[in-house]
Amino acid sequence: MALRHVVVGTAGHIDHGKSTLVQALTGIDPDRLKEEKERGITIDIGFAHLDLGDGLTVGIVDVPGHERFVKNMLAGVGGIDLVMLVIAADEGVMPQTREHLAICQLLRVRGGLVVLTKADLAEPEWLELVREDVRGALAGTFLAGAPLIAVSAKTGEGLDRLRETLAILARAVPPRSTDATFRLPIDRVFTIRGFGTVVTGTVAAGQLAVDERVEVYPHGLQAKVRGIQTHGRPVPAAVAGQRAAVNLQGVERAAIARGDVLGAPGLLRSTGSVHAACELLAAAPAPLRPRQRVRFHVGTSEIMARVHLLDRDALEPGQTGYVQLRLEAPVVALPADRYVIRSYSPMVTIGGGALLDVAPPRMRRGPGLLARLRTLEQGAPAAVLEAHLEAVGAGGTRTADLRTRVPFGPHALRALLDELVAAGRVVVVDREWYVHADTVERLRAEARAALAAFHAREPLKAGMSKEELRTRLGGLDERVFLALLERFVAGGVLVVDKDKVRLPEHAVQLTGDQQAAYDRLDEEFRTAGVVPPTLDEAFARLGLTGPGAQAVGQLLVENRRLVRIREGLYFHAEPLQAAVERVVAFLRERREITPQDIKDLLGISRKYAIPLLEWLDAQRLTIRVGDKRVLREPPPARTG
């Protein structure tokens, strides 16, 4: 039999008998605070567990009904699978009956049942009226048609039926996905003498085992799991859907609070802004207006936020729209997480919905943003992933980063990335680093346009330097740039020659005059041999002027007819080659050469000799020893 992990929460108006019912069902009093016992009301959430037989134990979260403690109620129902909506038979539907029901509806609690408590206080006819009243209140909600069971904690009437019904509902709760990153929104922190810090909560996703390392988000605190308990018993691991108490080693109790999230280290993201779909309850007292300050509840946290409407100027009660929530403190959440908003004053629940984006890109309000939000809300997983890859643009993104912003687990992410790469929708630029194909296409067009402009401006230059092209493309990350360059070259889009990039169709085209100047300059340097003029001297002697002359000179350098020996000093390649051969022969013979030797050998002055020797060093042909040079490679051993 598959193990089921189910958490049931209570809900309902103050004094309707929620805690009494939990105690009658489980024998555990969920009210643990002294003040709760004294005042006879629940203030904060309490916990119990119920053995339903056949290995099925459900966790129970009991919530307060008082309107001032809805905030605590919200921390409790965030992780529940089923709700027991408790309505006192003698009072019927009351304000927090409706508010709690609305909250469960906004949070998309899967299902549940309605318990009419204090049945011993109601006449059968009255009970019938209450039943009808309740059916009316549930119409159109997720509890319409749910079982409705009258019980009395006092007489025990109806409790067996309630247990049976709970067992049926609990067994029908589908198991949670195992493909998810571990996280547990913390609802309680305390210390136990001799053990230290303990946090509790419902495991929202993934699993956690003893001895594993965890992070307390959003503070970035690292800790080790010393022990785990579920339903009061030590266990080696806890999985999604279970209530768990986790004993942490390495963090102080004071450093953690309700609302923090226990998670796998480094695999969650905290954010100060989210994009979301927002439903304003039909019962909300007023429209939601731009920049309205609200209380934002997600997981077990409550944070103040400002609402920015993305698709209209006011959200009317009963309407659903897209919003940005700018948070006054960071939260840790994932898209598809459900949230609730309450108005600042009066403190009433006004709406909620699903998070769509926990790392929203800077985008203006407009059709582009709306299309993106629609995709995030309704699109297939691959489309959602593409939307994120598109939004990050040319910098691309890594798998680990994507993992913190998609509404599916790491295995699904891996499979989708592979699929998109195979389909050519996404380009791999490095290990686990991706750029969207549309972005690559845009960069390809930009690179080609930049090069076309460059060639038109500099027809005598072979190409643009790689570094300049990288700058032209918005200062692309170096690794992304090189990966894309390689891709473009392989695709015949660009040609790379040494550190120059050009369009494949570009060739240096000389006019008749330019060709003549080129040839004369070439000849001038060739005949000058190892005592070449400067470029300017050569231009002057040949009567060449202006930028055209410079470009022709540059072309001789690019074509390797002229070799730059040092700043402003160029040798023609042919006499240079002959000189190098003579120097090497000299060195083979004599093993070393001094500046004076090279002056005598080539018949040149110090002005040429020193730069030439330094150039030979730079070419790694020779190596300097004192004021002499020797060959870098030892000469072949002489025999005989």
Ligand X SMILES: Nc1nc2c(ncn2[C@@H]2O[C@H](COP(=O)(O)OP(=O)(O)OP(=O)(O)O)[C@@H](O)[C@H]2O)c(=O)[nH]1
Tell me the window of 16-24, 230-238, 294-302, 531-539 that interacts with Mg ion (CB under 5 A). Answer: 16-24
CB 10 within 8 A of CB 83: yes
Q: How many residues bind ligand X (CB under 6 A)?
A: 20
Residue from 8, 50, 52, 64 in contact with ligand X (CB under 6 A): 64
Supply the minimum distance, in Å, between the C-beta of residue 120 and ligand X.
Answer: 5
Instruction: Please report whether residue 100 would count as binding ligand X according to CB under 6 A.
Output: no
Question: Distance between CA atoms of 71 and 346, rounded to whole angstroms?
Answer: 13
Residue from 152, 247, 270, 324 in contact with ligand X (CB under 6 A): 152
Q: Give the bridge partners for 184, in sequence order.
A: 262
Residue from 45, 103, 153, 203 in contact with ligand X (CB under 6 A): 153
Question: Distance between CA atoms of 481 and 486, rounded to whole angstroms?
Answer: 9
Tell me the window of 16-24, 47-55, 445-453, 561-569 that interacts with ligand X (CB under 6 A). Answer: 16-24
Structural tokens at position 225: 């799991």
CB 281 within 8 A of CB 102: yes
Residue from 18, 118, 295, 403 in contact with Mg ion (CB under 5 A): 18
Tell me the window of 17-25, 206-214, 431-439, 555-563 that interacts with ligand X (CB under 6 A). Answer: 17-25
SS3 156: coil
| Residue closer to ligand X, measured from CB, 10 or 202 | 10
Q: Judging by beta carbons within 10 Å of its beta carbon (0-12, 13-18, 19+), is residue 190 exposed, middle or buried?
A: exposed
| Residue closer to ligand X, measured from CB, 16 or 425 | 16
Question: Distance between CA atoms of 457 and 110, rounded to whole angstroms?
Answer: 66
Instruction: Please report whether residue 370 would count as binding ligand X according to CB under 6 A.
Output: no
Structural tokens at position 31: 């009210």
The site partner of 17 among ligand X, Mg ion, none (C-beta below 5 to 8 Å per kind) is ligand X
Instruction: Please report whether residue 42 would count as binding Mg ion according to CB under 5 A.
Output: yes
List the alpha helices (DSSP H) in 110-218: 124-138, 159-171
Q: Which residues from 279-338 bind ligand X, rule CB under 6 A?
A: none
CB 181 within 8 A of CB 406: no
The site partner of 372 among Mg ion, ligand X, none (C-beta below 5 to 8 Å per kind) is none
Q: Beta strand pairing status for 82-88 and 6-11?
A: parallel
The site partner of 120 among Mg ion, ligand X, none (C-beta below 5 to 8 Å per kind) is ligand X
Supply the minimum distance, in Å, between the C-beta of residue 23 and ligand X.
Answer: 8
Supply the minimum distance, in Å, between the C-beta of residue 41 and ligand X.
Answer: 3
| Residue closer to ligand X, measured from CB, 14 or 387 | 14
Question: Distance between CA atoms of 584 and 330, rounded to whole angstroms?
Answer: 70
Instruction: Please report whether residue 405 would count as binding Mg ion according to CB under 5 A.
Output: no
Instruction: Please report whether residue 19 would count as binding ligand X according to CB under 6 A.
Output: yes
User: How many residues in the chain?
Assistant: 640
The site partner of 97 among ligand X, Mg ion, none (C-beta below 5 to 8 Å per kind) is none
Supply the minimum distance, in Å, between the C-beta of residue 153 and ligand X.
Answer: 4
Residue from 19, 242, 324, 397 in contact with Mg ion (CB under 5 A): 19
The site partner of 66 among Mg ion, ligand X, none (C-beta below 5 to 8 Å per kind) is ligand X
Q: Which of 259, 236, 249 is nearest to 191 (CA)?
A: 249
Provide the CA 358 distance to its chain's centre, in angstroms. 8
Instruction: Please report whether residue 580 would count as binding ligand X according to CB under 6 A.
Output: no
Contacts for 71 with CB less than 8 Å, ≥ 6 apart: 295, 297, 302, 342, 347
Q: Which of 409, 272, 380, 278 is nearest to 328 (CA)?
A: 272
Residue from 28, 56, 121, 573 in contact with ligand X (CB under 6 A): 121
Tell me the window of 11-19, 196-204, 328-336, 573-581 that interacts with ligand X (CB under 6 A). Answer: 11-19
Instruction: Please report whether residue 87 would count as binding ligand X according to CB under 6 A.
Output: no
SS3 571: strand
Instruction: Please report whether residue 13 would count as binding Mg ion according to CB under 5 A.
Output: no
Q: Write the secondary structure of 265-325 as one string of H (helix), E (strand) and C (coil).
A: CCCCCEEEEEEEEEEECCCCCCCECCCCEEEEEECCEEEEEEEEECCCCCECCCCEEEEEE
Residue from 26, 28, 41, 224 in contact with ligand X (CB under 6 A): 41
Residue from 26, 29, 56, 66 in contact with ligand X (CB under 6 A): 66
The site partner of 153 among Mg ion, ligand X, none (C-beta below 5 to 8 Å per kind) is ligand X
Instruction: Please report whether residue 72 would count as binding ligand X according to CB under 6 A.
Output: no
Tell me the window of 63-71, 218-226, 277-285, 428-436 that interacts with ligand X (CB under 6 A). Answer: 63-71
Tell me the window of 59-67, 237-245, 564-572, 617-625 that interacts with ligand X (CB under 6 A). Answer: 59-67
Instruction: Please report whether residue 218 would count as binding ligand X according to CB under 6 A.
Output: no
Whether omega before 634 lies within 30 degrees of 0, making that bond cis, reads no
Residue from 29, 120, 164, 311 in contact with ligand X (CB under 6 A): 120
Instruction: Please report whether residue 414 would count as binding ligand X according to CB under 6 A.
Output: no
Dihedral sign from CA coordinates of 453, 456, 460, 462: positive
The site partner of 20 among Mg ion, ligand X, none (C-beta below 5 to 8 Å per kind) is ligand X
Instruction: Please report whether residue 72 would count as binding Mg ion according to CB under 5 A.
Output: no
Sequential DSSP letters for 499-534: TEEE-TT------HHHHHHHHHHHHHHHHHTTSPPP
Question: Distance between CA atoms of 37 and 513, rounded to whole angstroms?
Answer: 103
Question: For 510, how many CA atoms within 13 A lie in the half-sphere containing its CB?
Answer: 16
Question: Distance between CA atoms of 74 and 297, rounded to whole angstroms?
Answer: 7
Q: Beta strand pairing status for 148-150 and 188-192?
A: unpaired
The site partner of 553 among ligand X, Mg ion, none (C-beta below 5 to 8 Å per kind) is none
For binding to Mg ion (CB under 5 A), which residues are involved?
18-19, 42
Contacts with ligand X, residue ranges (CB under 6 A): 14-20, 40-42, 64-66, 117-118, 120-121, 152-154
